[in-house]
Structure 1
Amino acid sequence: MVSALESYWRRWRGSTAVDSRIRKTLVDTLYARPSSLIIGACNGVATSSVGAYVTQDRTLTLLTAVLLLVAVFRIALGLALPKMKFVAPRRMEVVYEIGAFAFSGLTGIIAAYAILMDFGTAIQLMLLANAAVYGVGIAARNAGRPVIAIGQLCLSLLPVVAACVYVGSLPLLMTALGLLLCIPAMVSIIKDVFDVLKRSITAAETSRRLADKMEKLARTDIVTGLLNRAGLNHHLTAALMDIANDRKLALVWVDLDRFKFVNDTLGHQVGDKVLANVARRLREEAPGTATIARFGGDEFIVAFEADRRDEVEKMAVKLLDALTRPYRFRGERIEIGASMGIAMLPDDASDLEPLLQAADLALYHAKVNGRNQMSFYHPSMNRDLVRRREIEAELRQAVQRDELSIFFQPIVDLETGRIRCFEALVRWFHPEKGEMRPDEFIPVAEETGAIVTLGNWILAQAAQIAAHWPEHVTLAVNLSPLQIRTPGAALGILAALKEAGLDPHRLELEITESVLVDHDQTTEAFIAELSQAGVRFALDDFGTGYSSLAYLHKYPFGKIKVDRSFVSGSHVGKKSEAIIRAVSEMGSTLEMEIVAEGIETIEQVRTVREAGCTLGQGYYFSRAVPDYLATMLLAREQQTTDQDQRVAS
């Protein structure tokens, strides 16, 4: 039996060390229900006090006094320790163990002393019964910690067993035998109770861990390992509660530039690796206590505490520099930028939701102003947003209300001075607000998708007007990237030309370099289909974007339009003239026509003509005019030509 107890002892000691959380739960069972501890202590002290009072024995009185001190000590610690969260479970167990063993040992010794001193049957029975009942009862109560339960059982009963055997009377020997047999029986019960209790706690702990794991997974982005949107809300809510009154919470909303192009051209696996590397760089550069999350798609959020705005700006610049460094995968050099919107609490908002809205609005302005920029929130952004929403709503109705008109600006042959082409430009005359500037409503149309409907309408209207011009005059129309990517866009353009009766060879579609930077198979198919039908293409605003000779080699451009910034303005000089000359020489070699935009003076006409440009466009020749004035310009030009021919003849 002793070896079995030692085996149980070692196993229980070892098993409780397996998991500290399970151990803490089991230790907590010792301090649970302090009322039972108080009742047991009071009953033991009262029973011993009655024995001491009846017998008037000094030794018994002294033992009772010590028992009282131990009981007070146990009750005080039993009520105080559970409230002390900083006390380790192991220390709480040791303290309980000392008090429990002392009280149980004293209870057994007092009962044994009564038997040895032969105080009388009543006193002996009372004290023996107290020791036996306490030992059995406390064993069941403390089964969560078997070492303590078995120790208390033995300390309560074994002194009584020893005293009974020492006296040696047959009744006491039978009592000793019964108490001895009680010990293994109670050990078996303790074991069973402990096993059931531990299995229940282990199952509950496993369920809790699984729930924690599921909760963590639910708050974690699989691709990057960062927090997802749910995790971000949880962490930011906690951060708002913990932030000091004199500190600020900065929220940086990051949107990757050109990530869709990477995903479409190199595949989603490479796209996921780019996102994972973006997450790694954000972790490396952001403050150690920052909350970093993938908000969705190619958007990330970095939130951190700061004292001043300039600290936030320095950190944002650091993050922006890190994200714009090239990435390399499978030998591919990938370059993406990032736009950032920044808002701060309490400067820009008083709570989480308005703070997110402010950062989102700042991000919107950063993207509108161009790529690879950051923007701090400002209250005026709200007014701009309201203004844009008004324009968006009114623009959708402008076509039906006949508020839009097509104006035409001539493109002139620099050698002959004759009109070779008209560029179609939209004008919006609002009945209440007057003329709306194109740079005010075109970006809104681009952002909202209304540019598709607007662009199709412009092309259809302009084609019907151009069909009445002389055959040698072509029509130039700007195309938005959204129009090109719209399913069936090429067929729609050809249908509009057919309906207007305009030969496809007389249509020039102007596209910017940004379309080609973000190109995909849809763009290539669009250009190929229209080129095959005879439609011409011009590269617009050349020199302002990601200018690449590869575009000129790959796509069937017949015309290059040099941006007005190289022709007119404060920065025009020898360098800009050299650039125009180089582009013109290249165009001549490739058999392309070069259009100089923004010509305002006769000096600029001479400069661009000497540099090799073949065509010119700008206020020097004419502003954009209504269709009837465009017809008058052509008619006047024809009259001049006819007069020159008559004079020559």
Structure 2
Amino acid sequence: MRALKTLLEKRAQRPTQDADVRRSLIESLYASPASLTIGAVTGVAVGLVVVSLSSGAAIHGVVALLCLVATLRVISAVFFHRQLVRGTAVASRGWELAYELGAWVYAGLLGLMAFVSLVGSGNSVIHMLTVSMATGYAGGISGRNAGRVQIAIGQVCLTLLPTATGLWLEGSTGYRVLSVAMVMMVLGLAEISSTTHRIVVQALLGKRDKSLLAEKFEKLARFDSLTGLENRMAMQMRLRDIFQSSEKRNDAVAILWMDLDRFKEINDSLGHMVGDQLLRAVAYRLNEVVQERGKIARFGGDEFVIICPDTDRVTAAGIAQELIDYFAHGFDLGENHLQVTASIGYAVAPQDGRDMDELMQHADLALYEAKGEGRNRSASFNWSLKERFNRIHEIETGLRRALDAGELKLLFQPIVDLAGGKIDACEALLRWDHPVLGAIPPSEFIPIAENIGMIEAMTGWVLRQACIAAASWPGEVRIAINISPASLKSPELPGHVIAALLETGISARRLELEVTESIFLDDSGQTNSILRELQRIGLRLALDDFGTGYSSLSYLRSYRFDTLKVDQSFMAGVSANAEDRAIVHAIGNLARDLSMDTVAEGIETQDQLRHARDAGFTNVQGYLFSRPVTSERIAEMIAAGPLEGAERPDPIVQTRRRRA
């Protein structure tokens, strides 16, 4: 009883065969109509021979039925197999029952033929033919139909048990021994069929599991696990198929590349879990808007790509605007309500690109343009963007070799002391003559150098070259160097400064670093720390472009600047604009009260020089005195004394400066 209970528990725990496995087992019954035809032809042939050797009505009736059933089985097997090959067959329970009924009837008729011949005829030849036919058929069928084990075992029993009964009833010892052997054969063939069936089922289950695993891996490879959208690989495959299709090659295909604005700030402030929730919500909203008009993929991070076949530029612009408008509703994520905007760039083939890579690149350029214009908007690709991109790429590539190739150079513009007309300091100005693009202004290549991480190396080079030049000048003329906000965030800056001072031997007070008000927009502890450290070294600090920034005046109290440089835009209008004159005078008074030197930039006329003097400025700089020149020329100008264009020294002013 315990053994029986264990067996029943194992059967209950055994997983049931799913529909795919069952269908495969049914199809295996019809997989080889040739073997079924051979069995039918052999049975009919043996039956006809038996009929020719016997005059019994019973044997004739059995053989007639055998021929009819055999013919019907062959016809049905061939018909289903042809449908199976064409892919139109459905391996249903009905087809299984039809095969099962035909198999059992045919096997039963073979067994009945053997039984009738053994009981009703004394002809040993007939006995041999019918018994051999029954035995051979049972042996073959136990393997062929093992996919449906109940059919195989039923056929074996229906074929051999009547035959064994007939052998026993015949009465002779040899026949009875053969009858017992045949009964044992039934048990053996049943075991063989069961074992074969188990092996077949295990193989089919393994094939099914392998197929399911392959589908799972394919889904993992093609779909983003977080959002359920297609991933980058699937998107690229879809685009490749579109462009490789000859009939679609000239049709319009739009790519919309979307990027969430300031997504990193959400991740940093609220955590990655909220960020993931937002990405899932964005994916849902994209599906709501796009629907059947395109396919959506998560390209990576917070970037999404939408592929819209048969879509022109006007329609693509409409979809982009729908998305931007829909984002204006915000996202409710648990306790957080997030106002998130998106930027979208789009490109349309074939006008914007005739292959996948080109179209993707152009959509990315359009996205970059949308972000550059202020975010929360869409932008269409145009070929001027490509020209700009190519120029930026050329500059990036050139910058990487410019330092080693000696393409960068320093020029120097004098800063003149208003009290005596002599050169008080010189501003180092970086220049670059690109071998292909020609002269590129610092306002263009400096931001690119910051983006590609070259600004620290360039700053170190400028510091060294400027200090080397200043060391060769007579007297105590200072050297002023502009420092970008990116360099002020680098902990390498103090090291570059100290290395340049030690190598050239000039004093720290002869080196003046010019910074702009933009550094105070990012009130980071690192920037403040570096400024303090530079002041402890003894360097002078100048606040450049004063009056054009966005900060308050509180930093004048926090940092002890040595010099304020007034932006040239104020000096350009000082002659005709009363507001500019008022601002210039206010800055002059402020600097005097804070004991700071002042530099008026952009002095080009004697009238501008007069206003700078009237405002109380201590220094001036501009084309009235000199354009930027080489270090050697600056040395000659310093040695020559007061510059042309400067007015004669004012004794009163000189006395005031000596007292200060």
- Residue 70 of structure 1 and its aligned partner are, at CA, apart by 1.6
| Corresponding position of 1:404 | 409
Larger Rg, first or second structure (1 or 2): 2
Q: Is the 8 A contact 1:475 1:508 kept in 2?
A: yes
Give the superposition deviation at 1:272. 7.0
1:493 equivalent in structure 2: 497
Alignment of 1:128-527 (within 5 A): 128-157=131-160, 164=166, 168-170=169-171, 180-210=183-213, 212-214=215-217, 216-217=219-220, 229-230=232-233, 232-234=235-237, 236-237=239-240, 245=248, 248-253=252-257, 270=271, 273-274=274-275, 277-278=278-279, 280-286=281-287, 287=290, 290-295=295-300, 301-317=305-321, 341-360=345-364, 362=366, 375-379=379-383, 383-395=387-399, 396-397=401-402, 400-401=405-406, 404-408=409-413, 424-429=428-433, 435-462=439-466, 475=480, 477-481=482-486, 483-497=487-501, 499=504, 501=506, 503=508, 507-511=512-516, 513=518, 517=522, 522-527=526-531
CA contact (8 A) 1:250 1:344 kept: yes
Q: Deviation of residue 299 (structure 1)? A: 5.3
1:418/1:140 CA distance change after superposition, 3 Å: same
1:41 partner amino acid: A
Residue 452 of structure 1 aligns with an amino acid whose one-letter code is E
Question: CA offset at residue 134 of structure 1?
Answer: 2.4
Secondary structure in 2 matching 1:193: helix
Query: Which residue in 2 is equivalent to 1:37?
Result: 36
Task: Name the residue aligned to 1:642.
Answer: 650
Deviations 1:239-276 (A, max 9, x none): 6678972754444445666667777x66xx93575366
1:533 positional shift: 3.7
**CA, structure 1 residues 551+49, in 2 after alignment: closer, same or farther (shift >3 Å)?**
farther
SS at match of 1:640: coil
Give TM-score, length-normalised by structure 2.
Answer: 0.69
Q: d(CA) in 2 for partners of 1:322 and 1:592?
A: 56
Matched to 2:81, the amino acid is L
Look up the match of 2:45.
46
Distance 2:616 2:181 in 1: 119
**Greater CA drift, 334-343 or 388-397:** 334-343
* Offset, 1:140: 1.7
Tell me, in whole angstroms, the C-alpha distance in 1 between the residues paired with 2:417 and 2:25.
93
- Residue 105 of structure 1 and its aligned partner are, at CA, apart by 0.8
Against the structure 1 CA distance between its residues 133 and 622, is the aligned structure 2 distance closer, same or farther, given a 3 Å change threshold? farther
Q: Is contact 1:464–1:502 with CA below 8 Å preserved after alignment?
A: no
CA shift in 2, pair 1:647/1:510, >3 Å: closer
Kindly report which structure 2 residues correspond to 1:497-576, keeping only aligned pairs within 5 A, or say none.
497=501, 499=504, 501=506, 503=508, 507-511=512-516, 513=518, 517=522, 522-533=526-537, 536=541, 538=543, 556=559
RMSD over aligned CA atoms reads 6.0
Please, what TM-score do these two structures have when normalized by structure 1? 0.70
Return 5+ residue gaps in structure 1 as ranges.
none
- Name the SS of the counterpart of 1:641 in structure 2: coil
1:446 CA displacement? 3.6
Question: What is the alpha-carbon distance in structure 2 between the residues aligned to residue 430 and residue 281 of structure 1?
Answer: 45
Q: CA deviation at 1:561?
A: 8.7
Structure 2 CA distance for aligned equivalents of residues 278 and 603 of structure 1: 61
Task: Give the deviation of 1:182 after TM superposition.
Answer: 4.0
Q: Check 1:104–1:489 CA distance in 2 against 1; reply closer, same or farther (3 A cut).
A: same
Gap change, CA 1:330 and 1:156, over 3 Å in 2: closer
Cross-structure match for 1:109: 109
Conservation of the 8 A alpha-carbon contact between 1:423 and 1:475:
yes
CA distance in 2, matches of 1:475, 1:465: 12
Q: Is the 8 A contact 2:517 2:551 kept in 1?
A: no
Change (3 A) 1:249 1:33: farther
- Does residue 77 of structure 2 align to residue 75 of structure 1? yes
Q: Which amino acid aligns with 1:109?
A: L
How far did residue 29 of structure 1 move? 3.4
User: Against the structure 1 CA distance between its residues 437 and 179, is the aligned structure 2 distance closer, same or farther, given a 3 Å change threshold?
Assistant: same
Secondary structure of 2:146 counterpart: coil
Residues in 1 aligned to 2:98 and 2:496: alpha-carbon distance in whole angstroms? 91
Cα distance in 2 for residues equivalent to 1:273 and 1:62: 80
Q: 1:565 to 1:148 in 2, by over 3 A?
A: farther
Q: Which residue does the alignment assign to 1:98?
A: 98
Amino acid at match of 1:145: R
Q: Secondary structure at the match of 1:307?
A: coil
Q: Please state how far the C-alpha of 1:63 moved relative to its aligned partner.
A: 1.5
Cα distance change, pair 639–601 in 1 and its aligned pair in 2 (3 A):
closer
Q: Secondary structure at the match of 1:144?
A: coil
**Structure 1 position 408, deviation (Å):** 3.8
Looking at structure 2, the residues matched to 640 and 619 of structure 1 have their Cα atoms a distance apart, in angstroms, of 18
Q: Spell out the pairing of 1:591-606 with structure 2 (5 A cutoff).
A: none
AA at the equivalent of 1:526 = I
Give yes or no for contact 1:109–1:160 (8 Å, CA) kept in 2: no
Contact preservation (8 Å) 1:253, 1:301: yes
What amino acid is aligned across from residue 649 of structure 2 in structure 1?
Answer: T
Q: Secondary structure of 1:152's partner?
A: helix
Specify the code of the residue in structure 2 equivalent to 1:496. Answer: A
* CA-CA distance at 1:380 after TM superposition: 5.3
Tell me whether 590-599 or 335-344 shows the greater mean CA deviation: 590-599
Alpha-carbon distance change, 357 to 214 in structure 1, aligned in 2, over 3 angstroms = same
1:479 deviation in Å? 0.8
Q: Letter of the aligned partner of 2:461 in structure 1?
A: W
CA contact (8 A) 2:297 2:306 kept: yes
Look up the equivalent residue of 1:105 and give its one-letter code: V
| Equivalent pair of 2:148/2:197 in contact (CA under 8 Å) | yes
Classify 1:37/1:448 alpha carbon distance in 2 versus 1 (closer, same or farther; 3 Å): same
How much does 1:327 deviate? 8.5
- Shift of residue 155, structure 1, vs aligned partner: 4.4
Task: State the SS of the aligned residue for 2:309.
Answer: strand
d(CA) in 1 for partners of 2:542, 2:79: 89
User: Is the CA contact (8 Å cut-off) linking 1:343 and 1:359 kept in structure 2?
Assistant: yes
1:108 Cα deviation after fit: 1.7
Cα shift at 1:292: 1.5
Q: Matched residues in 2 for 1:596 and 1:336: separation? A: 44
Instruction: State the percentage of identical aligned residues.
Output: 26
| Matched length | 618
Alignment-mate amino acid for residue 155 of structure 2: Q
2:279 counterpart letter in structure 1: V
Query: 2:338 and 2:285 mapped to 1: Cα distance?
Result: 20
Equivalent residues in 2 for 1:609-628 (5 A)? 625-626=628-629
